């Protein structure tokens, strides 16, 4: 049944994905809602709110019924103007929710009004709270890239080598919704060991402003693909969609998988594909299927890979397809009471939030 959940909770929505990208950039984030969506983002879908010393300026528009019905944008503009006097943001970002989606809010006009009122850059992410987190995160990364990246194409100096690992590596899609803090630290350490000295994770506004001079972009989750394609078209910056094999090498659980076993990996597509590549590199010859509830690029998928929209699709697939190993977030086991194979934990905050232990393979 469409939308029915008996075991799995609602996944992080597009509003939360957008907010996660914007969280560390020093802007003022306005959730255009009555208060509920902002509460979910701050209370459940953003782990950094629980960290000591971690701060971000996130506000609810506090829409009332008549504000939405009558389109009282002037009240929202005044709230933003007053808030700017308190927090001194570097830019303003609006994140859409079901209410502005239903009434057809004109975000282009609204951002122009904000820029005229507070003299700061303003962007809008037209999320609606009904799609998945990676779609909202992708929209936020692309909007930031279009607003803050240089407008002119970079001219490469004659003495600058176009190859090798000299220069800056951008990492797109590295947010807490996909990677734990320990995983993010491990990934950056591996990239340093591979020879990249300057690594930018698009978690500072300056990263977007200097993105036209990056040597390469590494896309580690599907939400980074639209921005990577933008930088490739705008600045001729190549990009790679993968997570280094060394990221998985320290896992004793992975090394214990027999080479002829059937393995199902459930995560976001880039993570799952990279883990499959690592297992094959280690000599695994059995069938490996990658599956996701989120964005799936057809060009990155192999025959037999699964894209699930509903919980019962996941349950039925496991009932009809025998697998020896399942690698997924621990919360997935709730939906599989009859699974008797081996389970490997792949934490995915967008799936389980704080409801499961955050331990990684």
pLDDT-derived band at 22 (thresholds 50, 70, 90) equals very high
Q: Range with the lowest mean pLDDT among 51-55, 251-255, 257-261, 283-287?
A: 51-55
Q: What is the mean pLDDT of residues 13-41?
A: 89
162 pLDDT higher than 80: no
In the prediction, which pLDDT does 151 show? 79
CB count in 10 Å sphere of residue 174: 23
DSSP codes joined into one string, 118-185: H-S-EEEE---SSSBHHHHHHHHHHHHHHHHS-SSPPPPPTTS-SSSS-SEEEEES--TTTS-HHHHH
Q: Which two tokens stand for residue 168?
A: 């800056």
- The pLDDT score that the predictor gives to residue 178 is 96
Pinpoint the alpha helices (H) of 3-64: 14-22, 36-43
Give the separation between CA 58 and CA 48, rounded to whole angstroms. 13
Higher local confidence (pLDDT), 263 or 1: 263
Q: Supply the pLDDT for residue 165.
A: 66
Q: Which of 56, 49, 53, 66 is nearest to 95 (CA)?
A: 56
Mean pLDDT over residues 266-278, rounded? 98
Checking if the pLDDT of 329 tops 80, the result is yes
Encode burial over 240-265: b for 16+ CB neighbours within 10 A, e otherwise. Answer: ebebbbebbeeeeebeebeeebbbbb
**Least confident segment among 17-21, 40-44, 140-144:** 40-44
To the nearest 10 degrees (0 to 180), the angle between helices 14-22 and 36-43 is 60
Of the listed ranges 56-70, 262-276, 299-313, 337-351, the one predicted with least confidence = 56-70
Does pLDDT of 360 surpass 50?
no
* Range 282-287 contact pairs with CB under 8 angstroms and sequence separation of 24 or more: 282/254, 282/255, 283/259, 284/257, 284/259, 285/259, 285/260, 286/258, 286/259, 286/260, 286/261, 286/262, 286/324, 287/262, 287/263
In the predicted structure, residue 358 carries a pLDDT above the cut 50: no
The answer on pLDDT for 282 being more than 90 is yes
Residue located via tokens 């809010």: 105
Residue-wise pLDDT tens digits, 82-109? 999 999 999 999 999 988 888 888 999 9
- Is residue 205 within 8 A of residue 56, CB to CB? The reply is no
Task: Provide the pLDDT confidence category of residue 33 given band limits of 50, 70 and 90.
Answer: confident
pTM of the prediction? 0.91
Q: How confident is the model at residue 24, as a pLDDT? A: 95
Q: Is the pLDDT of residue 227 over 90?
A: yes
Contacts of residue 48, Cβ cutoff 8 Å, sequence gap at least 6 = 23, 24, 54, 56, 176
Measured on CA atoms in the order 158, 161, 163, 167, is the torsion positive or negative?
negative
pLDDT at 302: 97
Average model confidence (pLDDT) for the chain? 89
Q: Is the pLDDT of residue 154 over 70?
A: no
């Amino acid at each position: 049944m469409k939308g029915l959940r008996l075991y799995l909770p609602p996944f992080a929505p597009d509003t939360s994905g957008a907010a996660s990208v914007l969280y560390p950039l020093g802007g003022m984030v306005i959730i255009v809602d009555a208060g509920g969506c902002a509460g979910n983002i701050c209370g459940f879908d953003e782990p950094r709110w629980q960290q000591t010393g971690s701060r971000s300026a996130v506000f609810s528009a506090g829409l009332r019924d008549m504000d939405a019905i009558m389109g009282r944008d002037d009240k929202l503009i005044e709230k933003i103007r007053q808030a700017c006097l308190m927090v001194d943001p570097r830019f303003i970002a609006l994140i859409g929710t079901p209410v502005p989606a239903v009434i057809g809010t004109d975000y282009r006009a609204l951002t122009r009004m904000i820029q005229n009122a507070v003299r700061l850059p303003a962007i809008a992410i037209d999320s609606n709270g009904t799609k998945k987190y990676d779609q909202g995160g992708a929209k936020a990364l692309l909007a930031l890239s279009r607003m803050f990246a240089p407008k002119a194409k970079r001219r490469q100096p004659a003495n600058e080598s176009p190859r090798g690992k000299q220069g800056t590596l951008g990492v797109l899609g590295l947010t807490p919704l996909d990677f734990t803090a320990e995983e993010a630290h491990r990934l950056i350490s591996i990239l340093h060991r591979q020879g990249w000295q300057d690594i930018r994770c698009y978690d500072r506004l300056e990263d977007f402003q200097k993105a036209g001079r990056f040597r390469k972009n590494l896309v580690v989750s599907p939400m980074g693909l639209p921005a990577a394609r933008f930088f490739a078209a705008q600045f001729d910056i190549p990009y790679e969609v993968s997570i280094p094999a060394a990221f998985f090498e320290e896992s004793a659980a992975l090394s214990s998988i027999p080479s002829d076993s059937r393995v199902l990996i459930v995560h976001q597509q880039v993570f799952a594909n990279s883990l499959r590549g690592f297992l094959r590199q280690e000599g695994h010859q059995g069938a490996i299927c990658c599956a996701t509830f989120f964005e799936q690029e057809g060009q990155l998928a192999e025959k037999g890979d699964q894209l699930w929209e509903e919980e019962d699709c996941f349950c039925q697939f496991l009932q009809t397809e025998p697998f020896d190993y399942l690698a997924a977030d621990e919360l997935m086991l709730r939906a599989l009471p009859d699974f008797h194979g081996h389970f490997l934990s792949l934490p995915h905050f967008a799936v389980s939030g704080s409801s499961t232990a955050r331990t990684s393979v």
